[in-house]
Amino acid sequence: MLQFLVRRLIGAVVIMFLIGAFTFFLFYTVPQDFAQLSCGKNCSPENIAVIRENLGLDKPITTQFWEFMRGIVAGRDFAVGHCSAPCLGQSFDTGDFVWDSIMDRFPLTLSLTVGSLVIFLVIGLGSGMLAAWKRGTVVDKAVSGASMVLSSFQIYFLGPIVLGIFVYSTGWMDNPKYVPFLESPIDWAVALLIPWAVMATIFTAQYTRMSRSTMIEQLQEEHVRTARAKGMPQRYVFFRYAWRGSLAPIVTILGMDLSGLLAGGVVTEFTFDLAGIGRLAVDSSMSKDLPVTMGVMLFGAFFILLLNIVVDLAYAYIDPRVRLA
Amino acid sequence: MNPIRSRSARAIVIAAAAGSLALTGCSSNDSGKDAKDQSKSKQDAASQSKPVVYGDAGASTGPAAEVPGAKPGGTINIYTQSDLSHMDPGQIYVSDAGQFANLVHRKLTNYQEDDKGNLTVVGDIATDAGKSSNDGKTWTYTLKDGIKDEDGNAITSADVRHTIERQYSKVIFDGPSFVQTWLSGSDYRKALPDGPYKGKHLPDSVLSTPDAKTVVFNFDKPRPDLPQALSMAGYAIVPEKADTKEKYDKAPKSLGPYKIAEHKPGKSLKLVKNTNWDAKTDAVRHQYVDGYDFTTTIDQPSQTKRLIADQGEAKNAMQFTDSVDPAQTSTVIGDAAVNKRTIKGYQPYVWQMSFNLDRLKDKKVRDAITYAIPNQSMIQADGGKYGGELAGGLFAPTLPGFDATYDPFGKLKKPNGDPAKAKALLKEAGVAEGTKLTYAYSNTPRGQKQMVIIKDALAKIGFDVQAKEIDRATFYEQIGKIDNGFDLYMTGWGQDWASQSTVVTPVYDGTLVADGQPNYSHINDPQVNKLIEEALVLEPEAAAKKWEEAHKRIVEEINPAAPVYYSKQLQLFGSNIGGARYSTNSSYIDINRLYLIQP
């Protein structure tokens, strides 16, 4: 296990380096004068030269790359001060350190992810299992029908409807916003309830369908039939044998969904006017703020790699047949 | 005030692109409402186009006149779709940061606005708008007593000198350069390369501070516009001891009624009362509310939805510099209760079809295109009557000397153009059917809609229009190149203060043709250049004739840019906001006099 973990972590570092190098050279070699992009109304050649110097764009590209990579490990100095490791550079647009911007936005993204995750896992997996257990009954048909309808919804469709009803028309709730968890856990939950509910509705539908189908598959497996034939209690067979076996594909999809959510739920953030990682990515991309775009990209890549490793480890726990050698 | 050059300003223009073909869905009752709204806007424009008065010590003495019914207390919520581009006053040159500066920063001079929108330049931290001598080449300012920064440090003439001199350094690259250029020429940075940061200063023959209360500016030519230039946020005071150079942009010190309590870049900004601001020293600002909470992530449609709904915290909220969402304009105007929570008026921007004179050399061709442009359709693509108004010339209604009847291309009679006349001109010019024209446009929704209109209109008079879409982030960079490869493109420009000099000089002065400069048409007419040179050294009223002459020469004799429309502003605020009015100075909600009806 340890050997596997070390090997995967080294691989992840190499992949991160390659992604960093690729995106850096891809972005920085495009024929675009970023100094001019950052130049306001008073855009004289002298001012462009000043901006170029301030942004470090007057240095050779290899020097810029070296400074960028070194900054990730050892930090960097900018005119506005020292950027501690892991330093992902300085925004062309705002002058803020990219890592600080990401860390400032991450709590919201994490809150959205965790809150919705709890809801959709509990309800999604629960209702899927229930439907599988009650296969062919009214309960199964109702759960399957509802999940079919809800899975066709999108956040940008459902979000404005929920806002329209609960915020704009009735005034029962305020517009969603981020309140730090440590400041007030209750306000934190209340302020994010609408986005959680909307995100969870869509994900719940998907996980209900997935969990139902994988459970039904598992319930038809030979080892489950054997367990039943041996006279094991139905509940024991269901949870100990079938449910555990059904988790592997769900964990795979969950890993992918989580990495996507942690890298930034763009649609959710824009629908509810929230400022998380997703909005940072889009805003930086729109304003051609390449250090920020690169930083967010690396941050997202980090979560994808991390969750891949976690998923692989989870496989070993869920299914003892899987060897991590 | 070209609003499109900087990153944040782009968002403002996109927001200002209030479009509403949906307006056609307004009920018949709306026509009376519209007429009333248009009439109010024209009254405001009339105030804006009057020559600005320079106020004396009496007018400059605080406190500002009380706003009737105003109560203290409460917090106003501000909705914006992007963060401020800068907070260091030296870097501020666009509208959103300018509005912010009104709350936080103070300058030598400021604009005072009366109930009818008439503007007077008064002393802000100075005792008056300035005293000129030496035929207008010398301006002397005396500082008021009791001016302090947020830490309680008294502001002296050394701080004013520091404010001007730091603009010469590399720390500042985004703000205005009028005063530095007037003092030290276009290569002003060479006069003080490190600014004041290495102990050097401008010579007393340029800028002197004979005592702690007096600042003297010495120019080589008369500079009658100095009081107005110094009222720009870009020249707000940066106390010498508080200056942290580049870091100052993140945490500036306040001299105004509010100071920064917390700033989360790209997310939020919280302003609270500055207890060291003394109302008795300020003839313009108030401090009725306890603070302002900015949320800088709310896009234009959401701002409008929230403010129409007027629920909860939205009752205390307002748009800052964004406009009403074009798709919701009819809802706003059609609902009397919502409509009364709006301000309407002209923005200082004139949208024009700039011709690349290096490529479109024949004036008859340029005139033909001008006649062919369907101005009214272009306005519809940018918000209808609440987004713009048909332009006859290149001076906005907010400029002194604006003449609403000026219409050399007959657009008031034929708002959708005169294709027959255009065709006749092309025939005279010998332009063959199917001649190619390259039209560059920005990939904004407005730009895309207008591209279809232009392509169609010019095809009708025989051109084969090659439309080149340019990313909105790089649009002005692309068309700002001398050798840009395009024949025509839509550009917008607005005044820096109520003087034609801030429009004619940057956009139509041939001596300023260069890559990255706003002379997008590359006009270089000796007569226009001479008129500009002469007008710049005259007092505003005397200069007005020169500017008018230059304007007519530009529009009628050269036609480097077809006037298309004047942009307009429509903003919403919550039902608990009191004192809201259109400001003829900022062209937005007057930020200086707001209060909460129920604090």
Inspect the interface and report whether the beta carbons of A174 and B312 lie closer than 8 Å.
yes
B296 chain-A contacts, CB cut-off 8 A: 275
Q: Which residues contact B431 (CB under 8 A, 6 or more apart)?
A: B362, B365, B368, B462
Rounded distance, CA B450 to CA B376, Å? 11
Residue from the list B266, B298, B302 with its beta carbon closest to the beta carbon of A283: B266
- What does the block give as tokens for B577? 């906001």
B295 chain-A contacts, CB cut-off 8 A: 177, 273
Rounded distance, CA B556 to CA B379, Å? 22
A171 chain-B contacts, CB cut-off 8 A: 309, 311-312
| A75 and A129 share one domain | no
Question: A66: domain range?
Answer: 35-87
Q: What residue in B sits closest to A51 (Cα-Cα)?
A: B173
Q: Which CATH number do you get for residue B172?
A: 3.40.190.10
Question: Are the C-beta atoms of A159 and A198 separated by less than 8 Å?
Answer: yes
| A82 and A142 share one domain | no
Q: Which CATH number do you get for residue A196?
A: 1.10.3720.10
Inspect the interface and report whether the beta carbons of A288 and B297 lie closer than 8 Å.
no
Chain A from 160 to 179: CB within 8 A of any B CB: 163, 167-169, 171, 174-175, 177
- pLDDT tens digits for range B411-466: 999 999 999 999 999 999 999 999 999 999 998 888 999 999 999 999 999 999 99
**Position A218: which residue type?**
Q
Look at A30 and A304; give whichever has higher pLDDT: A304
Q: Which of A220-224, B50-54, B539-543, B548-552 has the lowest mean pLDDT?
A: B50-54
Instruction: Return the DSSP state at B582.
Output: B
- What does the block give as tokens for B561? 């840019």
Inspect the interface and report whether the beta carbons of B94 and A48 lie closer than 8 Å.
no
Chain A from 252 to 281: CB within 8 A of any B CB: 270, 273-275, 279-280
Residue B392's pLDDT band (cuts 50, 70, 90)? very high
Q: What residue in B sits closest to A96 (Cα-Cα)?
A: B265
Residue B9 has pLDDT above 70, yes or no: no
What pTM value is reported for the model?
A: 0.85
**Where is B349: in which H helix or E strand?**
strand B342-355
Interface test with A, best of B297, B442, B470 (most A CBs within 10 A): B297
Does residue B536 form part of some domain?
no
Does residue B159 form part of some domain?
yes
- pLDDT tens digits for range A26-81: 877 766 677 777 776 666 777 788 888 877 888 888 898 899 889 999 999 887 88
Inspect the interface and report whether the beta carbons of A286 and B473 lie closer than 8 Å.
yes
| A269 and A198 share one domain | yes
Report the SS3 class of residue B254: coil
Question: B387: domain range?
Answer: 1-414+491-497+562-599
| A53 and A168 share one domain | no
Residue from the list A39, A51, A94 with its beta carbon closest to the beta carbon of B266: A94
| A66 and A168 share one domain | no
Average pLDDT over residues B334-341: 96
Residue B33 has pLDDT above 70, yes or no: no
**What residue has token string 């855009």?**
A43
ipTM over 0.90: no
- pLDDT tens digits for range B310-325: 999 999 999 999 999 8
- What does the block give as tokens for B598? 């129920």
A81 chain-B contacts, CB cut-off 8 A: 247
Question: Residue B343 pairs with which residues in a beta bridge?
Answer: B571
| A293 and A223 share one domain | yes
Does residue A122 form part of some domain?
yes
Rounded distance, CA B459 to CA B453, Å? 10
Q: Which residues contact B11 (CB under 8 A, 6 or more apart)?
A: B81, B82
| A57 and A184 share one domain | no
Inspect the interface and report whether the beta carbons of B517 and A54 lie closer than 8 Å.
no
A82 chain-B contacts, CB cut-off 8 A: none
| A51 and A117 share one domain | no
Q: What residue in B sits closest to A34 (Cα-Cα)?
A: B474
Does residue A2 form part of some domain?
no
Residue B123's pLDDT band (cuts 50, 70, 90)? very high
Q: Which of A187-201, A251-265, B153-167, B415-429 has the lowest mean pLDDT?
A: A251-265
- Report cis status (omega within 30 of 0) of the bond before A60: no
Q: What residue in A sits closest to B481 (Cα-Cα)?
A: A36
A46 chain-B contacts, CB cut-off 8 A: 187, 189
Residue B498's pLDDT band (cuts 50, 70, 90)? confident
| A207 and A136 share one domain | yes
- Mean pLDDT (chain B) is 90
Does residue B324 form part of some domain?
yes
| A53 and A110 share one domain | no
Residue B5 has pLDDT above 60, yes or no: no
Q: Which of A23-37, A117-131, A156-170, B100-114 has the lowest mean pLDDT?
A: A23-37
B248 chain-A contacts, CB cut-off 8 A: none
In the prediction, which pLDDT does A179 show?
A: 94
Indicate the residue among A26, A57, A87 that finishes a domain.
A87
| A80 and A43 share one domain | yes
- pLDDT tens digits for range B222-246: 999 999 999 999 999 999 999 999 8
Average pLDDT over residues B41-45: 69
Does any CB of chain B come closer than 8 Å to the CB of residue A285?
A: no
Does residue A310 form part of some domain?
yes
How many angstroms away from the CA of B408 is the closest CA of chain A?
30
In terms of DSSP bridges, do strands B577-578 and B595-596 run parallel, antiparallel, or are they unpaired?
Answer: antiparallel
Inspect the interface and report whether the beta carbons of B311 and A167 lie closer than 8 Å.
yes
| A214 and A281 share one domain | yes
Chain A from 84 to 143: CB within 8 A of any B CB: 93-96, 101, 104-105
Does any CB of chain B come closer than 8 Å to the CB of residue A39?
A: yes
How many angstroms away from the CA of A81 is the closest CA of chain B?
8
Residue B514's pLDDT band (cuts 50, 70, 90)? confident
In the prediction, which pLDDT does B333 show?
A: 93
Question: Residue B577 pairs with which residues in a beta bridge?
Answer: B596
In the prediction, which pLDDT does B460 show?
A: 96
B6 chain-A contacts, CB cut-off 8 A: 39-41
Does residue B237 form part of some domain?
yes
Does residue B8 form part of some domain?
yes
Count how many domains chain B has: 1
Closest to A205 (Cα-Cα) out of A132, A264, A302, A120: A120
Count how many domains chain A has: 2
In the prediction, which pLDDT does B38 show?
A: 64
- pLDDT tens digits for range B371-383: 999 999 999 888 7
Rounded distance, CA A134 to CA A141, Å? 9
In the prediction, which pLDDT does A324 show?
A: 55
How many angstroms away from the CA of B170 is the closest CA of chain A?
6
Residue from the list A50, A168, A287 with its beta carbon closest to the beta carbon of B309: A168
Does residue B110 form part of some domain?
yes
Residue B7's pLDDT band (cuts 50, 70, 90)? very low
Residue A1 has pLDDT above 80, yes or no: no
B314 chain-A contacts, CB cut-off 8 A: 175
Residue B34 has pLDDT above 80, yes or no: no
Average pLDDT over residues B341-352: 94
